[in-house]
Amino acid sequence: MAIPLEKIAIADDEQSVLLLMKEIVQDLGYECVGIAQNGADAVELVRRTQPQVLLLDVHMPVLDGMKVLAQIVEMKTTAVVMLTGDPDIELARRAMDAGASGYMQKPMESMQIAAIVESAWHRFQTIHSLQEEKKALDAALETRKLTEKAKGILMEQQGFSEDDAHKCLLKMSQDQGIPLKEVCRSIIQVKMLLGKKSKRAA
């Protein structure tokens, strides 16, 4: 379910731009949770307030805007819309490739700003959702592979049927209060350890 955009932070080295953008953001009905005038402060601002969207000028003192972008992308909490006064298509492309959710050329009309930040927030949520889905699928696939391997060990060593081996693994997981994946991994590790000891003994 999509979460509505409410909180925005702004980072720009020009005081006049900061104040203007803050006023526009608030007039549009969003909460401005903070402002920053250099790159290092922008990173700290995001870490502290976790805005949904950060409007970030490309050319920032102390820490360049692209470097700020890289750090915020790693946090995975905030969509970044890059701001610039230069009509540089290549810079826009690099920013989007680096993880920016939007790009805005100054100056902008308030309704254009609203459209861009809403689009950026939607894009960020969509990508985050897809990443979470992929992570869940990868985890499920890993569990399945480990389960199949552990079942094979129980079937070979205990003479269990495939169904009984699976039930045994589930019961061990429930009784011990640990994930099925970890139960299977433990059985596989024990099997490998015993195999190594057998080879040394031989």
Give pLDDT tens digits for 62-94.
Answer: 999 999 999 999 999 999 999 988 777 888 889
Average pLDDT score over the chain:
90
**Dist. CA 181–CA 162, nearest whole Å:** 17
What confidence score (pLDDT) does residue 36 get?
A: 97
Going from the N-terminus, what domains does the chain have, and what CATH number goes with each? 7-108 (3.40.50.2300), 136-201 (1.10.10.10)
Q: What is the pLDDT of residue 198?
A: 56
**What's the whole-number mean pLDDT along residues 42-46?**
97
Q: 127-180, pLDDT tens digit by residue?
A: 888 888 888 898 889 989 999 999 999 998 889 999 989 999 999 999 999 999
Residue 146 tokens read as: 């480990």
Does the pTM surpass 0.85? The reply is: no
